[in-house]
Structure 1
Amino acid sequence: MERIRLGSTGLKVSPFSFGTMTLGQPVNEKTSLELLDLVSDSGVNFIDTSNSYNAGHSEEIVGQWMDARNNREQIVLATKVRYPVGNDPETIGLTPKVLIRELENSLRRLKTEYVDIYYLHQPDDDTPIEVTWRALESQVNAGKIRYIGLSNFAAWQIVDALYLSRSRGWTPPTVTQALYNAISRAADTELLPMARTFDLGTCLYNPLAGGLLTGKYRWEKPTSGTRFANDANYRQRYWDERQQCAADAFSQIARDGGADCRTGTAVHAGSRQR
């Protein structure tokens, strides 16, 4: 698989990253490890996880896999902080205490001394960005973070962080992550143009709208055992008449053109990763 430049980081990554939100639950550990083998053997070298995914279990599986395969140096590894780990309220937010402690916990679970990309998973309105960034800088200087990423931040918030970090001589954010697919294209308006202007690596998630764009769903109710049946957040995000109609239309266009809507959508989204 080809490698592409991830913004100004110098990292060369596969056009697709492997998201691990379902590793451990609902995907069991054995199958999770098999999936990691499959994507690695297919040429994917970019793995995305978070401390909040399955209360840290997803990170543990990734760490177990890298340790068993002895391939940490071949993997571009990204994880995140902000959301709760399980039901622990002390893991929420972007205060220095939470950030530094949760980074240590992530490194322990991942069995590594550093992460390539450490994302702030979402803004924290209760903590000034300057306070968060000072903590990030300390961890960059300690060698535990190679690059800083911002996930689910608005364009203006990313620019604010860029100017703050540059004015203080701190490490700036170099990667951003946003929701993007054929029926959810808000990032086109400001985020993607901003990322091009500042040469930020851009990673996109939900390229198939949580599976909605696969064409497998019928709208009476979600199919049992699927993400939409099990996850209220995804139903709230996509399960409405407007998006269902758009997904139907998209699937029909793909069928009329003799294309696989799953591959086409994912390739289009992957091409936006720079």
Structure 2
Amino acid sequence: MQYSILGRSGLRVSRLCLGTMTFGPGADWSRSEEESRTVFDAYTEAGGNFIDTANMYTGGESERIVGRLVAADRERFVISTKYTNALPGRADPNAAGMHRKSLTQSLDASLKRLGVDYIDLYMVHWWDFTTPVEEVHRALDDAISAGKILHVGLSDVPAWVVSRAQAFHELRGLCPISCMQLEYSLVQRSIEREHLPLAQAYDIGITAWSPLAGGILSGKYTRAAPSDGPKRVDSMQLQALDERNRGIAAALDQVADRLGVTSSQAALAWVMSRGVIPIVGATRPEQMRENLAACSVQLDAQTLAELDEISAFDKGHPYNMLDWDMPISLGYGGMFDQIDIPRFPGRRPA
């Protein structure tokens, strides 16, 4: 296993994070504790130490299972969990959201389910657009002062929210944002508009959920023989399994075959090449081992450029202005090619 520093936190975390949304019974895609343990063992035997869960995964059972799995060597692991969503079946408006009351009760419940004294990385699960950024940030900072959490992160939130939170860190001394958790894959690259540049500017770690686009980039929809019959598609994948993304997956298969790796490994290696930590789940230990092997896949510049091209997306305004010759010429005094511009998001003219 190779490790990364999570933003400016100093935390040493695995280059792949173990996703535990499937840990616990209750759905056809989830697994029992015994089955989950075999996946966990495959991950930890390879040196993995970064575990992602949430208060509402499998009705809270995921946190309980994670707590039991790490109990024998808790300090080895970096545990990340999230709040904002209420547990299924609970009719209480204040049991959800990111306000202080929701955070306080959710955090205490997560600590109890995990059976730990503190949580390494505590994350807002999504933005409810009703709670002020400053209230959320102050409540998270107070939880650090109370010793209940060590670092904070924001998941599935607009880039302006993270930027505002970082301003509170710099101006008021509140805790920094250590991590953003966002959807990112070859078929979903929209965070390259705002979130990735923001992460680079403030040195914030990024973990990516659905790095295989719900299985689209694993080859199971593009490599299967017609006789295999129809494949089950989760509701989150229905919109994504379109002609564009099938084309990306098919092109990825060709790249993977040329490199002698699986499609999943090539897709995960591409995500890691961006300095992003993929969150990988599995229902079987051999599936986890296959994903872990992506850490040893090195993509050369030509292959990276090829994958970027097959998954190109519309960056939108104002970034697509950088494809126009006039702003390129006038904006850089006619000397664009002679100026070293780091992380330039547009194309260089021929």
**Compared with structure 1, are the counterparts of its residues 106 and 222 closer, same or farther at alpha carbon in structure 2 (3 Å cutoff)?**
farther
Does residue 60 of the first structure (1) align with residue 68 of the second (2)? no
Moved more, 37-46 or 261-270: 261-270
Match of 2:236 among 233, 236, 243: 233
Q: How does 1:178-257 map to 2 (within 5 A)?
A: 178-217=182-221, 223-224=231-232, 228=233, 231-236=234-239, 238-257=240-259
Structure 1 stretches lacking a partner, 5+ long: none
Structure 2 stretches lacking a partner, 5+ long: 278-350
Corresponding position of 1:80: 82
CA distance in 2, matches of 1:247, 1:262: 10
CA distance in 1, matches of 2:217, 2:13: 25
Secondary structure of the 1:203 match is strand
What amino acid sits opposite 1:85 in the alignment? L
What amino acid sits opposite 1:270 in the alignment? M
Alpha-carbon contact 2:252-2:266 (below 8 Å) kept: no
Cα deviation, residue 89, structure 1 = 4.1
Q: How does 1:32-47 map to 2 (within 5 A)?
A: 32-47=36-51
CA distance in 1, matches of 2:230, 2:193: 31
What amino acid sits opposite 1:124 in the alignment? D
CA distance in 2, matches of 1:242, 1:267: 21
Q: How does 1:93-112 map to 2 (within 5 A)?
A: 93-112=97-116
Q: How does 1:119-134 map to 2 (within 5 A)?
A: 119-134=123-138
Cα deviation, residue 11, structure 1 = 0.5
Does residue 4 of the first structure (1) align with residue 18 of the second (2)? no
CA distance in 1, matches of 2:22, 2:237: 13
Alpha-carbon contact 1:6-1:273 (below 8 Å) kept: no
The 4+ residue runs of structure 1 with deviation greater than 4 A are 218-222
Matched residues, number: 266
Alpha-carbon contact 1:107-1:115 (below 8 Å) kept: yes
Cα deviation, residue 216, structure 1 = 0.9
Alpha-carbon contact 1:204-1:270 (below 8 Å) kept: no
What amino acid sits opposite 1:263 in the alignment? Q
What amino acid sits opposite 1:16 in the alignment? L
Alpha-carbon contact 2:133-2:161 (below 8 Å) kept: no
What amino acid sits opposite 1:22 in the alignment? T
Cα deviation, residue 5, structure 1 = 1.1
CA distance in 1, matches of 2:276, 2:100: 30
CA distance in 1, matches of 2:262, 2:41: 24
Q: What TM-score do you get using the length of structure 1 for normalisation?
A: 0.91
What amino acid sits opposite 2:156 in the alignment? N
Percent identity between the two aligned chains: 36
Cα deviation, residue 213, structure 1 = 0.6
**Compared with structure 1, are the counterparts of its residues 93 and 63 closer, same or farther at alpha carbon in structure 2 (3 Å cutoff)?**
same
Corresponding position of 2:341: none
**Compared with structure 1, are the counterparts of its residues 89 and 95 closer, same or farther at alpha carbon in structure 2 (3 Å cutoff)?**
farther
Asked which structure has the greater CA Rg, the reply is: 2
Moved more, 252-261 or 263-272: 252-261
Cα deviation, residue 222, structure 1 = 5.4
Alpha-carbon contact 1:8-1:199 (below 8 Å) kept: yes
Q: CA RMSD in A?
A: 1.9
Cα deviation, residue 257, structure 1 = 4.2
CA distance in 1, matches of 2:137, 2:91: 21
Alpha-carbon contact 1:140-1:146 (below 8 Å) kept: yes
CA distance in 2, matches of 1:247, 1:264: 11
Cα deviation, residue 263, structure 1 = 0.8
Cα deviation, residue 252, structure 1 = 2.8
Corresponding position of 2:280: none
Alpha-carbon contact 2:4-2:14 (below 8 Å) kept: yes
